[in-house]
Copies of this chain bind each other. A is one copy, B any other.
Amino acid sequence: MISKPHTKYIQSLQQKKFRDEYGCFVAEGPKLVSELLAGGRFTCREIIALPGWIEANPALIALPGSVTVTDVQEHELEKISGLSTPNEVLAVFEKRKQDASIDPRHSITLVLDTIQDPGNMGTIIRIADWFGVTNIVCATGSADIYNPKVVQATMGSLGRVLVLYTDIVSWLRQQPDIRSFAATLDGKPVGTIGKLSEAILVIGNETHGIRNEVLAHTRERITIPRIGEAESLNAAVATGIILSHMV
């Protein structure tokens, strides 16, 4: 059983305002929840699940610290879930502090100039994790990584990347010695760059691309050569293609 105020609290975490206020976010579904629990990167505050899930996962629930476990019926889970098809378990985790310590030396760092769509943001995090890129710097105003749609789309990769929201122009200015690339429509073909062990890759907004003041702080432009006629590539697809040539 879940109380009315408890239901309201969980529902409120769908909104950034309340995620910021409570310092928490929601993850749903057996696979994602168990990955985040096992990853140990996020502290779990509470688990709300169907009795079947609770019975099947005694080890996962035996967590250090004080994790509340609430068993609910399907109609209750439906009420608190952000998914169109609720899936056995919902967990509340503590947001991490900003990863201000991101160090771009000796690694590849992804800089996102205001990715707006939560699905794209989640997919980009998953792509970064695939390619072993753990540094992600987001322009202030980018989609919130704790947005439930981002969390679900990352499929567990959220626990394996560092994310910093900041003024990316200032941030780029602080990295004068690192080779930086802007993904644009008029740069050098991505296949000519070669494999790199240290670089900054800037990906632009879905509609507006990279802002001029950001472009001014990158050294080189790269592009994915177009052979056909499509006007653009999805930002996440472009990120995947460039990283596959770069790492």
Contact = CB atoms under 8 A, between A and B. Distances in A.
A234 B236 contact: yes
Interface string A77-94: 000000000000000000
Contacts of A241: 240-241, 244
Contacts of A190: 244
Interface stretch (A45-53, A60-68, A127-135): A127-135
A132 B233 contact: no
Interface string A103-120: 000000000000000010
Nearest to A240: B237
B233 A127 contact: yes
A21 interface: no
A226 interface: yes
Given A190-B244, A244-B244, A244-B245, A123 B228 contact: no
A226 B233 CA distance: 22
B227 A131 contact: yes
A224 interface: yes
Nearest to A123: B234
Contact of A230 (B129, B229, B232): B129
Interface of A: 119, 123, 126-134, 155-157, 160, 190-191, 224, 226-234, 236-238, 240-241, 244-245, 247
